[in-house]
Structure formats: structure tokens, C-alpha cells
Amino acid sequence: MHERIRRDRLRNIVYRRLEDLEEHVDIDEVALQSFLRKVRENQNLPLAIISGAAAAIVGAVLWGFVAAALEMHTAVFALGLGALVGLTVRKFGQGFDRAFGIAGGLLAAAGSVAGLLFTVLVLASRALGIPLLHILARVELSVYKTIWVQTVRPVHAIFYLIAIYEGYRFSIKRISDAELRTFTAR
């Protein structure tokens, strides 16, 4: 049953994409079935999640070091992180399903939180003259909550929400015009 629902959802995505075209097209059902089968075989949610998590970690670390180098604490970096995570999930997951978007959005949110916290820790390391690894090894979980509460401002929510949207939106693969031509006749 679950596979049938996913199959119907993919077919609906194809038909919605065809409705976007301004001209009438005829669908080659055999080619469409072949395309849908290939799409289902190429989707890889576990790889999308692993690669998206790696991108979130890399993005958070870059955010921390760049922000520290510029001596600025800003949530604007969340925008780049959301895009990085979303594009990575799409590249490695090859997914048309909503699950890929949800994974991208959640990973972008986690990466944004990690980026903010890592930035504060890098700045603290520089200000206190304590090695970053020493701080990372000794900071307890409750300290991260305190850092979050004391550093996040309402305006940051805008950037985090956009990052989550980017993570969601960029994670889902779109049907290209070339792919449409494989099963349509004009």
C-alpha cells in the first residue's frame, strides 16, 4: 500500500510539471513508467541524510571560523548553510519525495543551531586564550542551552526559518525539461 501511494505521488509530480507547460503534450505511458521506475531506483534517502548531515557539520564549522575571523556574531550564515545542506541532499539523494525535503529542512535547522553554538565557542576560545578543543571537550550540554538562550534574538528566527525553507526546497529534485521530453511528444 505504501509503495502504491509513493508511486501515485510521483505520477502526480509528473502531471503537475506537465501542467506548467503552456502547450499540449501527449504522454508515452510506457516511457513514463520506465522513467518512474528509474526515479524510484535512484532515490537514496539514507545517503541523502548522511551527506546532508556532513554538509551541515561542514557548514557549521565554516560558519564558526568565518564569523570568528570577521569578529561578527550573525545568523546570516544560516542562509548559506541551508542552501548547502539542501543542495547536498538533492545531489546525493536524487529524491522527488517530500521525505527528502523534510530531511533537508531538519538538517538545515540542526546545522544552524550547531553553527551558532560553534561560533560562540570559537569566539570564546579566542577571547579567553583557551584552545578550542579544550573548550569543546569540557562544555556540558546544559551550557549549550544557556548559550542558545542568551545569544539568539528574535531577528535570528527569520534567518533560521529561511535556512530551513532552503533546506527543504533545495533537497527535492525537480523534473527537468530534458526528463520531460523522454516520455512526452509535442
Query: Which positions ≥6 away from 17 have C-beta within 8 Å?
Result: 174, 175, 180
Does residue 116 lie in a domain region?
yes
Does residue 70 lie in a domain region?
yes
Looking at the structure of the chain, the number of domains it has is 1
**Separation of alpha carbons 26 and 112, rounded Å:** 45
Task: Look at residue 144 in the predicted model and tell me its pLDDT.
Answer: 82
Residues 37, 89 contacting (CB under 8 angstroms): no
Does residue 6 lie in a domain region?
no
Range of the domain at 140: 44-175
Burial 140-159 (b: 16+ CB within 10 A, else e): eeeebeebeeeeeeeebeeb
- Among 17-31, 56-70, 166-180, the minimum mean pLDDT is found in 17-31
Does residue 57 lie in a domain region?
yes
Task: Look at residue 10 in the predicted model and tell me its pLDDT.
Answer: 75
The stretch 86-103 carries a mean pLDDT of: 95
Does residue 165 lie in a domain region?
yes
pLDDT at 20 over 60: yes
Does residue 182 lie in a domain region?
no
Residues 172, 48 contacting (CB under 8 angstroms): no
From the list 112, 138, 110, the residue with the least C-alpha distance to 124 is 138
**Separation of alpha carbons 158 and 79, rounded Å:** 10
* pTM beyond 0.85: no
Count Cβ atoms below 10 Å from residue 65 Cβ, excluding itself.
14
Does residue 3 lie in a domain region?
no
Task: Look at residue 57 in the predicted model and tell me its pLDDT.
Answer: 97
Does residue 98 lie in a domain region?
yes
